[in-house]
Amino acid sequence: MNGFFEFFRVDYFDPLVEVASSYAADIDGLIWLVLVVVGFWFLVAEGVFLWFIMKFRARDGRRADYIDGTNKRHKRWITVPHLLVLGFDVLIIVVSFNVWYKIKMDLPENPDGGVIRVIGQQWAWTFQHPGADGELDTPDDIFTVDELHVENNRTYHFELQATDVLHSFSVPVWRIKQDAIPGRTITGWFQPTRTGEFDVQCAEICGFGHGVMIARVMVEDEETHAAWVEANTPATAAAMVGAVTPAPVAASLAAEAGPAPNGHGGH
């Protein structure tokens, strides 16, 4: 089955948006599958429809037949297409559940990149990174506003929160789009597969400044990321000339978000 689905992976096509996470190609493959199946049946249906229009068009001296759909031939025209479409619908459902389970339910255990907290508020993103100890909610945590730093080819869990209204954490190159709901902590995961700087956008209208609620994710190699963590961990960053200490507003927002019920899901 996996070999059959492999054809629909984005590797065979030119994606409109860069593929930069471990499951981005699975999302694109599902979209291509839906496009191919729906497009095929659209063309078939329209072709049959046009053929009927031409074949059974009005002619002088001929009366239209009264068809009630009760004979076997007419029933076949109804039953067979329905069964074929149903079969392709089942195919799409199976692939959809497979992708959904992999991304939303089957979170990798013991992520080697650690856990990152993502906090949405009008109109900025606050990111809480683990410091040099690799643990979240310890004194050396690194807070940044509108700038997420991760290491390439590492698996991360994220805890998504919102402090005011509904937001949506969207990273197009990773194919992530997850709602942030006030009062809830929604967990998920990602694994970057390409270094570079990429866009983060709020994908849920959240007020007047929604359009400027943008951020950047920096995917770095091991050496660069280790240097960034060392330079920005509070114990060392404060001692460096010109170092930027964590923004007070970021620490305040993280404290305000506080613990919330854990859960998978959202939109």
Instruction: Determine the pLDDT at residue 50.
Output: 93
67 pLDDT above the threshold of 80: no
For residue 263, pLDDT over 70 is answered with no
Whether residue 8 is predicted with pLDDT greater than 60 in this model: the reply is no
The domain segmentation of the chain, as residue ranges, is 2-105, 114-263
Query: Nearest 5 degrees, angle CA 146-CA 216-CA 218?
Result: 115
Report residue 171 as tokens.
């990273």
Could you report the per-residue pLDDT of 219-261, keeping only the tens digit for each?
999 999 999 998 888 865 545 434 444 444 444 544 554 544 4
The CATH class given to the 114-263 domain equals: mainly beta
For 11, half-sphere exposure in the C-beta direction (CA atoms, 13 angstrom radius) is 7
- Average pLDDT of the residues in 196-218: 94
pTM for this entry: 0.72
pLDDT of residue 55: 83
Longest Cα separation, the chain: 98
Q: Look at 70-74, 86-90, 117-121, 237-241 and tell me which has the smallest mean pLDDT.
A: 237-241
pLDDT score, position 17? 79
Residue 236 is predicted with a pLDDT of: 59
Give the confidence band of 58 by pLDDT, cuts at 50, 70, 90: confident
Let me know: does 199 contact 172? Beta carbons within 8 Å.
Answer: yes
Burial class (CB in 10 A: 0-12, 13-18, 19+), 60: exposed
Distance in angstroms (rounded) separating the CA atoms of residues 227 and 243? 13
Return the pLDDT at 59.
76
Element (H, E) at 128: strand 124-129
Between 10-19, 162-171, 201-210, 239-248, the lowest mean confidence (pLDDT) is in: 239-248
Evaluate the CA torsion angle 21, 22, 28, 30 in order and state its sign.
negative
